[in-house]
Structure 1
């Protein structure tokens, strides 16, 4: 149970920690100053959402996300959200590809090199079907979490930063709802694809609590670090590089590799949601479907990494508030229905 629960936990974290999150751009877009309470609320809401989505996936033994949507928003609205999820996964995976290009540009390589370097391994992962994705996350995510936390904590200690927020200044608490909502659709898409592989409800608890606690802690420490260099964040396409500006070059290389791995795992998760939904209609191996999807994404990567995040992410955050509210009230409504029976 523990091993499987951790497997789903890493799948959740790998879905969330991508180009936008690991680079710091996404966190800075939503949080920033006076956001300690917002991040605490996000951690709690995120845990609840993961628990509800995983519970529905487990009970329905789902192989793709549509049955989960039908439970949450009803059959009529589920078709609207089905289209929205598909477009969301497509565009955010484009963000990951663009992020890979931006990462290699930091080393003065052409942007298209970074895009090719990420597309080929994604296709290779899907040769082993869903098992390839799960094995990848179980290997990469522990390294990514430890590496990112090490850098942020080292920076915090070096700068003598306080981890205690000013309770009287927490005006940005509402950002918790839009930031959580932003991450709902990929969670529904990815977790809906693995319901038929879960064996017990204990796995749901481990994955939900573990991912909520880890992401909440990383988000708080990361945001706290970015606040200290707020004047310099605007000068960098990837804010994490602003934190690393005084570090030795070898550390810069190490973190760039970790950042690319974060981008890669989220690109894989986004592609997983897309190809499992497509396989419901097109009988083909996942890797074949992945090839067609990724080729179609390449032209859109020209838009630019930070531009995509700046405009797409807040828009989806607002659109997803309805499904977030459905997830929050689902336990109450479900308990009421059970009582009626």
Structure 2
């Protein structure tokens, strides 16, 4: 089932991500509105616009709550303080130039790649379960259920990154550059996902009841690696929240205008407070819906692409 998710992630981010980034470049987009209008039309796009707006903020709140819990679990820092540290870090970064925000989003990637390859390499060769024996250990699952869960999971992952991909594409001058960046990024992400998936399967008896399986894998190699991974996990949360919050703010205000600076203060204070009042639990229950939303966007992008191509029109992406 995990491999099906990898295949769909590859498709979503390598092909569809490439198309979306190129559309963002063509419209010089600062938010997802123009891209949705191009794909769905002006009226129907508003439905997806409002849904994305709600979930951009909601998932960011969920991640702030998760950051607070991670600080407490890993470093014995109170949840409220951990969430506050993350909130302040995001707010300060949102004050920076967009190119600096993009660089901040990319800082963690090399470290994540090295650590994932290290963990996966160890367990691929020394795991308790060989790849040939995985099917005997991992509970048997319906292939169709695996395909469906992979589709929805990919839709969720794509919908979370959609607005950020559009904004980064909009800041790029050439469509070939933005498209290639999204495509290669999708390939790298898929390879990492496949590696860690194999590693988890090779240690399935050990990690099947773990709350954070990857952290368990790291700790079994060496506690220091687990500590480094926990730092990287917080950095990944930081990346996700930053991308979501910037996209949310850019949808309502002109980036770096007076209204933008006022808005991000209100947004971050509200996000911090809502992370303690059960709002995150509500969003968790609605993750599946977001997967369907992402799937609809993917299908719409594909239809738009082939309609314009078959009509022999000069298509944006």
Aligned match of 1:69 in 23, 36, 49? 36
Partner secondary structure for residue 174 of structure 1: helix
**Counterpart for residue 8 of structure 1:** none
> Structure 1 residues 40 and 320, CA, compared in 2 at 3 Å: closer, same or farther?
closer
* Distance apart, 1:209 and its partner CA: 2.2
Aligned match of 1:209 in 161, 174, 183? 183
**Counterpart for residue 138 of structure 2:** none
Partner secondary structure for residue 128 of structure 1: coil
**Counterpart for residue 176 of structure 1:** 150
| d(CA) in 2 for partners of 1:95, 1:142 | 25
**Mapped pair 1:290 → 2:264:** yes
> Structure 1 residues 281 and 225, CA, compared in 2 at 3 Å: closer, same or farther?
closer
**Could you list the runs of 5+ residues in structure 1 that have no partner in the other structure?**
1-33
* Distance apart, 1:287 and its partner CA: 4.5
Aligned match of 1:152 in 120, 125, 146? 120
CA RMSD of aligned residues (A): 2.9
| d(CA) in 2 for partners of 1:244, 1:205 | 34
Task: Give deviations 1:52-107, integer Å, cap 9, x for gaps.
Answer: 11121111121221000001111112111111111111111012111211211213
**Mapped pair 1:270 → 2:244:** yes
Which shows bigger deviation, 142-151 or 257-266?
A: 142-151
Aligned match of 2:49 in 61, 82, 102? 82
Is the contact made by 1:237 and 1:306 (CA closer than 8 Å) also made in structure 2?
no
**Could you list the runs of 5+ residues in structure 2 that have no partner in the other structure?**
136-140
Task: Give deviations 1:231-251, integer Å, cap 9, x for gaps.
Answer: 555644323222234233222
**Counterpart for residue 104 of structure 2:** 136
Is the contact made by 1:182 and 1:320 (CA closer than 8 Å) also made in structure 2?
yes
Is the contact made by 2:63 and 2:241 (CA closer than 8 Å) also made in structure 1?
yes
Task: Give deviations 1:251-276, integer Å, cap 9, x for gaps.
Answer: 22111101100110111000110111
Is the contact made by 2:29 and 2:170 (CA closer than 8 Å) also made in structure 1?
yes
Task: Give deviations 1:175-201, integer Å, cap 9, x for gaps.
Answer: 332122112333331133234421212
Is the contact made by 1:98 and 1:305 (CA closer than 8 Å) also made in structure 2?
no
TM-score scaled by length of structure 2: 0.85
Aligned match of 2:174 in 194, 197, 200? 200
| d(CA) in 2 for partners of 1:215, 1:194 | 17
Which shows bigger deviation, 224-233 or 93-102?
A: 224-233
Is the contact made by 2:124 and 2:202 (CA closer than 8 Å) also made in structure 1?
no
